[in-house]
């Protein structure tokens, strides 16, 4: 492969990722898909509709990912979720911080991007602050704190950190364990009448398929067995050098970095950046079509303060947990990663704590 062909393939990966992210943003905005909203609905109204939507998305993503693995279209060992080192404390602490933050900021990172597309100026502020906090946790002052504390606590698993890795006796059929688990999640999600609605189908299936498509684009379309310059295998347009699906905390950092240092020739457009832009576009298209687009600002000083605190907690927590409600809660868990399961537990616990804070503030008023 010559360099011209390589560049053409990279452009294909970027455009395909942008379109998939736009689909994700459209489905999320139209169906009101929201992890924080799912937990809030259960606590405040006893409604499991959006929680079943989330579980349906996880099930669809898990089935799709493991079918790709079974067919040899992606290499699961090349995802960041497949390592044998389980950083359980980072996942738990980071997930808890993120869960609290997403309640205070009225939604997680992906919801923030969708709301920017729908006209929310306060979500734009959350995006900037969350991105700066995440940047500091990747490379700055909070990064030092992270690496010197929670990141040092981990468990090494000889069999690996994902369920399919434990089924070594099945050989090439090991990914079918993941297919079975995903199918069980889909069955549970659709077992109730409240989940058999158009919005649940759109959110669950649309979001889940978006994750699967990103695995395929990044892990198959973007794979080059031998780079013409380095003669090594490479996954095009990724920041990590590995297969990447949908995630939003680190990509917010990459987007701010790309926008601020745009004239720097070393700053290349990557998959993470186009995913962020694509979700905003998808949210905007959906909001315009259903006539829900409207400009929105902060209600008062307290509203501003809570969103700023939430944005910082999401930025710090998302990096510490190595993913957000989508990065760990959809993409990561679709690989049946143990670390992702721990991060999800932390996110749910944090969200419950955040909801209690909100209730306390309302009662005080």
CA separation, residue 248 to residues 185, 240, 329, 338 (Å)? 24, 14, 11, 20
Where is average pLDDT lowest: 42-56, 161-175, 197-211, 248-262? 161-175
Q: Which residue has the higher pLDDT, 332 or 171?
A: 332
Whether the Cβ atoms of residue 98 and residue 108 lie closer than 8 Å to each other: yes
| Confidence at residue 1, expressed as pLDDT on a 0 to 100 scale | 66
Mean pLDDT, rounded, for 189-199: 86
| Confidence at residue 227, expressed as pLDDT on a 0 to 100 scale | 77
CB atoms near residue 289 (< 10 Å): 12
Residue 81 CB-density burial (10 A; 0-12 exposed, 13-18 middle, 19+ buried): buried
Residue 3 confidence class, pLDDT cut points 50, 70, 90? confident
**pLDDT per position as a tens digit, 260-294:** 999 888 888 999 999 999 999 999 999 999 999 99
Where is average pLDDT lowest: 190-199, 237-246, 278-287? 190-199
**pLDDT per position as a tens digit, 73-129:** 999 989 989 888 899 999 999 999 999 999 999 999 999 999 999 999 999 999 999
For 183-207, letters b (16+ CB in 10 Å) and e give eebbeebbeeeebeeebbebbbbbb
| Confidence at residue 50, expressed as pLDDT on a 0 to 100 scale | 93
| Confidence at residue 4, expressed as pLDDT on a 0 to 100 scale | 84
69 — phi, psi (to 5°)?
-65, -45
Residues 6+ apart with CB under 8 A from 30: 199, 202, 203, 286, 290
User: How many domains, in total, are found in the chain?
Assistant: 1
Mean pLDDT, rounded, for 306-314: 97
CA–chain centroid gap for 162, Å, is: 18
192 — phi, psi (to 5°)?
-110, 145
Residue 173 confidence class, pLDDT cut points 50, 70, 90? confident
Please state, for a pLDDT cut of 90, what percent of the chain lies above it: 80
Element of type H or E holding 117: helix 109-117
| Confidence at residue 266, expressed as pLDDT on a 0 to 100 scale | 81
Residue 168 confidence class, pLDDT cut points 50, 70, 90? low
Instruction: Give residue 182's domain range.
Output: 3-364
**pLDDT per position as a tens digit, 19-70:** 999 999 999 999 999 999 999 999 999 999 999 999 999 999 999 999 999 9
What whole-number distance in Å separates Cα of residue 148 and Cα of residue 150?
7
| Confidence at residue 229, expressed as pLDDT on a 0 to 100 scale | 72
Mean pLDDT, rounded, for 202-224: 96
Its sign, for the CA torsion 239, 166, 331, 73, is positive
Coil/strand/helix, residue 232: coil
Mean pLDDT, rounded, for 3-9: 88
Q: What is the mean pLDDT of the chain?
A: 93
| Confidence at residue 268, expressed as pLDDT on a 0 to 100 scale | 86
pLDDT value at 11 more than 70: yes
Residue 190 confidence class, pLDDT cut points 50, 70, 90? very high
**Residue 269: which region, alpha, beta or left (left: phi > 0; alpha: psi -120 to 50)?**
beta
What whole-number distance in Å separates Cα of residue 284 and Cα of residue 289?
9
């Amino acid at each position: 492969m010559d360099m011209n062909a390589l560049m053409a393939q990279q452009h294909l990966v970027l455009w395909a990722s942008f379109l998939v992210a736009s689909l994700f943003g459209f489905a999320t905005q139209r169906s009101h898909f929201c992890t924080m909203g799912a937990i809030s609905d259960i606590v405040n109204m006893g409604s499991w509709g959006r929680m079943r939507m989330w579980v349906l998305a996880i099930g669809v993503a898990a089935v799709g990912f493991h079918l790709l693995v079974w067919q040899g279209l992606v290499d699961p060992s090349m995802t960041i979720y497949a390592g044998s080192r389980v950083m359980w404390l980072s996942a738990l602490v980071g997930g808890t911080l993120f869960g609290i933050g997403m309640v205070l900021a009225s939604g997680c990172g992906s919801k923030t991007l969708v709301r920017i597309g729908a006209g929310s100026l306060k979500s734009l502020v959350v995006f900037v602050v969350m991105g700066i906090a995440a940047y500091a946790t990747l490379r700055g002052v909070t990064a030092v704190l992270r690496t010197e504390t929670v990141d040092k606590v981990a468990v090494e698993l000889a069999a690996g950190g994902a369920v399919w890795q434990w089924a070594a006796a099945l050989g090439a059929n090991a990914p079918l364990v993941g297919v079975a688990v995903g199918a069980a999640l889909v069955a549970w999600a659709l077992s109730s009448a409240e989940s058999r609605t158009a919005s649940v189908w759109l959110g669950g299936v649309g979001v889940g398929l978006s994750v699967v498509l990103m695995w395929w684009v990044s892990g198959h379309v973007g794979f080059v067995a031998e780079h013409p310059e380095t003669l090594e295998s490479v996954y095009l347009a990724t920041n990590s050098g590995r297969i990447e699906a949908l995630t939003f905390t680190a990509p917010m950092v990459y987007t701010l970095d790309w926008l601020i240092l745009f004239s720097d020739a070393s700053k290349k457009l990557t998959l993470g950046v186009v995913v962020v832009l694509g979700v905003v576009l998808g949210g905007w298209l959906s909001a315009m079509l259903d006539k829900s687009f409207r400009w929105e600002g902060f209600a008062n000083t307290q509203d501003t303060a809570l969103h700023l605190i939430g944005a910082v907690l999401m930025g710090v927590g998302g990096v510490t947990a190595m993913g957000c409600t989508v990065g760990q809660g959809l993409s990561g868990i679709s690989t049946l990663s143990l670390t992702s399961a721990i991060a999800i537990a932390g996110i749910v616990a944090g969200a419950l704590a955040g909801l209690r804070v909100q209730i306390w503030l309302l009662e005080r008023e």
